[in-house]
Structure 1
Amino acid sequence: MRVTKLTVAALAVVAGLSLTACENGNDIAEPPKPSASAPEQGQDGPAATATADCRTDELEVTASDVTIEGDTVGTVAVEFANGGDRDCTLTGYAGVDLKTNAGSLAAERTGEEAPSVTLGNGKSVWFAVTYPVNDSGGSGARITGLVVTPPNQTKSVTLDWPGTGSLPVTDGSGTPVKVGPIGSAGQGG
């Protein structure tokens, strides 16, 4: 009986997918026909200016402490510099993990709007990592590194941590480590 239910469910999914594979009677796999207003190949236009995602290997990734003295929240600015030979695009949030003596700590996204930024060769964009400053007087969790994964990539870069050397140990009610979207920090903070 269970096999029959799974088979019926699988058939329903396949049928649903086949129905969505058609659009206005045309198969989606068929390339769209150019309209009179669409630019031809070689002309300037959306198709001519589209850029691919920035790959980890073509980005130079650096981090610097930009915390203002006396702040209760520290800030590290992470820079992505395009070292490739083409324009590329970064969209959304980078993945950020802090390596600590207590294990890896994933930064939470701030929830801010995540824009798309096109980087020309040699151009840079920054984003912010914020963290609670350890003013508890205790040793806290020692930060040993920063792991950054560019948006839409799976390869990471490990950097030295430029910020304060430790995070306060809390019961979970403290300020979390957060990452802002691409473009959320400017040069020098």
Structure 2
Amino acid sequence: MRSHKITFAALAVAAGLSLTACQNDDDAAAQTDPSSVATASPSTDAPDAGGSDSGGGKETADGAGSDQSGTAAKCRTDGLKITAIDNFIDGDPQGTVAVEMKNTSGRDCVIAGFAGVDLKTNEGTLSAERKGAPGDPYVLKNEKTIAFSVTYPLNETGGTGVRITHLVVTPPNETKSVTLPWPGKPSLPVTDGSGDPVTVGPIGSAGQGG
């Protein structure tokens, strides 16, 4: 969080005293007109409650907002509830996990492209490869859900394989990730690198608008 410097400005303006002498027939009287002194109230350069992004768009505290043109801002990690479910159907040649992102920010937001997906395994971290063409930017209404798919090779070798423990998801154009328990089949086959890779589809590849 950026730190904002608080500046206090005070301005004092003083005017001199002018003296005017007026002589009457009976006596002399001196009249003085004092000037006023004005001091400005201290001002504080306070930040907006939600901050602003690099494009000048105001955001809410939960990560969504609108830019200066009134269009929806991008969906942020803090404004999304991210969950994952096993989407495998018997007979499919590959395993599938559907990752769902629900907009809980209180405002509409825009999402598009690919999320970052990593699998945590007992052999280290495995990054999913992108598969498919991204669609047009999608306005995700508040309280609505959009999803994408993660596919992976099934372990049919009969061995324990490479055991998967967690799924790490980073929404498009974001750096903050969410780590989830892995909901799919428990392991990947051990290969020499010639097998099918783990892939991630574009946003909306597993349904949207729910």
Give TM-score scaled by structure 2 length. 0.65
Which of 79, 84, 103 matches 2:105?
A: 84
Where does residue 157 of structure 1 map in the other structure?
178
1:171 maps onto 2:192 in alignment: yes
Relative contact order, CA 8 A, sep 6+: which one is greater? 1
CA distance in 2, matches of 1:122, 1:56: 14
Q: CA deviation at 1:72?
A: 2.1
1:126 counterpart residue number = 147
- Rounded to whole Å, the distance in 1 between the matches of 2:76 and 2:68 is 20
Q: Deviations over 1:88-122 (max 9, x none)?
A: 11110000000000000000000323331111110
Verify: 1:104 aligned to 2:132, yes or no.
no
Quote the residue 2:206 is aligned against: 185
2:161 is aligned to 140
1:4-83 to structure 2, matched below 5 A, reads: 48-83=69-104
What does residue 93 of structure 1 align with?
114
Q: Of the two, which has the highest radius of gyration?
A: 2
C-alpha separation in 2, matches of 1:131 and 1:145 = 14
Letter in 2 for 1:135: E
CA distance in 2 between counterparts of 1:114 and 1:94 reads 13
In structure 1, stretches of 5+ residues that fail to align are 1-45
Which amino acid in structure 2 is aligned with residue 66 of structure 1?
N
Seq. identity, % = 62
Q: Normalized against structure 1, the TM-score is what?
A: 0.72
Alignment partners' CA distance in 2, 1:114 and 1:101: 34
Check if 1:116 corresponds to 2:137. Answer: yes
Inter-partner Cα distance in structure 2 for 1:101 and 1:60 = 27
The Cα of 1:48 is off from its aligned counterpart by 4.5
| AA matched with 2:136 | P
Q: Which has the higher helix share?
A: 1
SS of equivalent residue, structure 2 residue 78? helix
Give SS of 1:60's match.
strand
Distance 1:63 1:138 in 2: 26
